[in-house]
Amino acid sequence: MPLLVNLRHLKDKAVDLNGELPVEDLDLCLRDDSVQARHPLQHNLEVQLFGQSVLVQGELKILLDCQCVRCLKPVPFPLELPNWAVHLALEGEEKVPVVSDCVDLTPYVREDILLSLPQHPLCKPDCRGLSAAASRRAKPKTTGAGENGDTPSAWAELDKLTFEKE
């Protein structure tokens, strides 16, 4: 169920929205294996009418399951937006859709979460990456070897080319 606010409830006073939103309802569509959302979003929001608009302020929290991009260890990443706010116009060109006197806050929450995702999650700032033994196991096997037993360069065939001068 999306995060909805009923405008009729806002006529007399501000409304508090506290609770959890299942991650399925956020529809984050994360395609990166290093960042996954499997836990519900916790929200503590105050919603009020502000002229011909709705002002939403509060706090958003979600625990992400990440993978360190250097050593590949699992890393929990608490994403917190402590001063989250959105101003939604009810009239004019940029007015938000109102369905049955309700405004859906989910797209605005989703957008700010996506913008706040970690780009390169690390288990610790000074992570040195995979150990030498683990990196040897992780390297793909090559089919041939160069003159010194090392892996041939991708440019080796180009080095063999000769050009004639006119």
Q: What is the 3-state secondary structure (H, E, C) of 94-159?
A: CCCCCECCEEECHHHHHHHHHHHCCCCCCCCCCCCCCCHHHHHHHCCCCCCCCCCCCCCCCCHHHH
Which residue ranges make up each domain of the chain?
Answer: 4-116
Give the side-chain half-sphere CA count within 13 A for 129: 6
Residue with tokens 């995060």: 3
- pTM value is 0.73
Which range (90-94, 111-115, 126-130) has the least confidence?
A: 126-130
DSSP 45-60: EEEEE-SSEEEEEEEE
Q: In DSSP terms, which residues pair with 116 in a beta bridge?
A: none
Residue with tokens 């709705």: 54
Q: Of 110, 127, 102, whose CA–CA distance to 47 is shortest?
A: 102
Q: Which is more confidently placed, 32 or 145?
A: 32
The bridge status of strand 15-21 relative to strand 41-49 is antiparallel
Residue 164, pLDDT > 60, answer yes
